């Protein structure tokens, strides 16, 4: 096989994640070279526009997937939480790397936890999921939209914002000092948070065979349950939603949250199952509760 062309975003975090995949590839297939192709996505170009105004998190992935389909790259490295529930025809997630910490972290000048933040503090996030849960937990806080890479958002702390909320996995992968981790059941993460996904063309059998060595079985089971949750939301996928699945033996335990369009109503529930389809069942139940106005 020729050198494998790997597509990725150009942020420090995306490049760190791609480096991790390249090192794993070198161990799995030491005789195969790889090269990195940086792709500037629409989400990167429109970095000052709220995500929900430009199509949601899929804007970080679509341009890279186009490169896969057109053949300019052979595989792509993504943060799974940035991927849409349904892949374009002809593409497949060939490997899920072992999951990093799925929790969110809060960063403030004084190192406050969410509970300890002063009344009326301003907290930055571009996530509808985080906004909805923050409002439910601390209705006194002022939630402000903030975008940009990890270091850009951290720089806002003490300079316009009292705190920001970021994914723990990204902070850890960049080797930055951690913030205060939030309980994953209190602040449910985005489906797929903490997971690096490797995508390629479905018909590229030789590459799929190589990438299969990188695939972490337990992470795949949990990720697919969370993606089933996301897929079941369908047209509601832009609602505030979070999910986290854990595998214990043969049993999948998945907790989910879903908010109303205005973010004022929030429902939570946990289900157990033997297959990733439990994620779909959980999403259906939460959608029924939101539509009926029933919260937890």
Rounded distance between C-alpha atoms, residue 164 and residue 98, angstroms: 26
Q: Which residues of 42-77 are buried (b: 16+ CB within 10 A; e: fewer)?
A: ebbeeeeeebeeeeebbbbbebbbebbeeeebbbbb
Rounded distance between C-alpha atoms, residue 97 and residue 86, angstroms: 19
End-to-end CA distance of the chain: 53
Rounded distance between C-alpha atoms, residue 228 and residue 211, angstroms: 22
- Catalytic-residue membership of 44: no
Choose among 71, 58, 66, 68: nearest CA to 94.
68
Catalytic residue chosen out of the listed positions 44, 48, 63, 82: 82
The secondary structure of 148-171 as a DSSP string is S-HHHHHTTBTTTBSEEEEEHHHH
What residues act catalytically? 82
């Amino acid at each position: 096989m020729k050198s494998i062309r790997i597509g990725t975003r150009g942020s420090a975090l995306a490049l760190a994640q791609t480096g991790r995949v390249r090192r794993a590839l070198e161990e799995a297939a030491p005789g195969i070279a790889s090269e990195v192709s940086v792709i500037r996505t629409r989400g990167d170009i429109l970095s000052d526009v709220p995500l929900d105004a430009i199509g949601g998190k899929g804007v970080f992935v679509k341009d890279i997937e186009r490169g896969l389909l057109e053949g300019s790259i052979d595989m792509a490295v993504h943060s799974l939480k940035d991927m849409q529930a349904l892949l374009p025809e002809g593409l497949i997630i060939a490997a899920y790397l072992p999951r990093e910490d799925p929790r969110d972290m809060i960063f403030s000048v004084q190192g406050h936890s969410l509970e300890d933040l002063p009344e009326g503090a301003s907290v930055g996030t571009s996530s509808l999921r985080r906004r909805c849960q923050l409002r439910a937990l601390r209705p006194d806080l002022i939630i402000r939209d903030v975008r940009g890479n990890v270091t850009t958002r951290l720089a806002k702390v003490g300079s316009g914002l009292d705190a920001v909320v970021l994914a723990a996995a990204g902070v850890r992968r960049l080797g930055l000092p951690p913030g205060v981790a939030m309980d994953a059941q209190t602040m449910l993460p985005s489906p797929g948070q903490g997971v690096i996904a490797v995508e390629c063309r479905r018909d590229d059998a030789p590459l799929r065979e190589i990438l299969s060595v990188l695939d972490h079985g337990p992470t795949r089971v949990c990720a697919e349950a969370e993606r089933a949750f996301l897929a079941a939301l369908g047209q509601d996928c832009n609602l505030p939603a979070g999910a986290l699945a854990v595998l214990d033996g043969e049993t999948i335990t998945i907790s989910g949250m879903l908010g109303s369009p205005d973010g004022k109503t929030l429902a939570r529930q946990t289900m157990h199952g033997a297959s990733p389809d439990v994620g779909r069942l959980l999403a259906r139940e939460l959608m029924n509760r939101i539509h009926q106005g029933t919260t937890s």
